[in-house]
Amino acid sequence: MWVGMKNQPHQGPTSSGVFERLGDLKKNDEIIVERGDGTKFTYLVQEKEIVSLEDLNKGGMNRMTKSASSTAEGLNIISCTGNWIPAKNTYDQRVTIRAVAKE
């Protein structure tokens, strides 16, 4: 599982981060991960869900620790989305992506 930022480490909604467009993904979109040695791995999005931070903290994380498939390697990603809450220095929602290795 990867957890990352929509923007640069909690500077608010003005700086782009690696997962800024994570919420644009849809079923069967490809995610390509490249290691430092140049090896690439391709995953296909199976599920995308927008959940409140509260719901994720109440039990939604359990689902994110498992692959979307019982027979394929998985890649799960969580990032911030929704409205910026300055008093809490975070966003009020999370986008969760579950993907499986492309065969």
Sequence-ordered list of residues with C-beta below 8 angstroms from that of 42, at least 6 positions apart, any chain: 30, 31, 32, 33, 101, 102
Burial 32-58 (b: 16+ CB within 10 A, else e): eeeeeeeeeeebbbbebeebebeebee
Evaluate whether 58 touches 52 at the Cβ level (below 8 Å).
Answer: no
Q: pTM of the full predicted structure?
A: 0.80
If one compares 103 and 42, the residue with the highest pLDDT of the two is 42
8 A C-beta contact, residue 76 and residue 47: no
- At 13-48, the pLDDT tens digits run 556 777 888 889 999 999 999 999 999 999 999 999
Confidence of residue 3 (pLDDT cuts 50, 70, 90): low
Total domains in the chain come to 1
Q: What is the CATH number of the domain that holds 64?
A: 2.40.260.10
Give residue 46's pLDDT: 97
Structural domain for 75, as ranges = 2-101
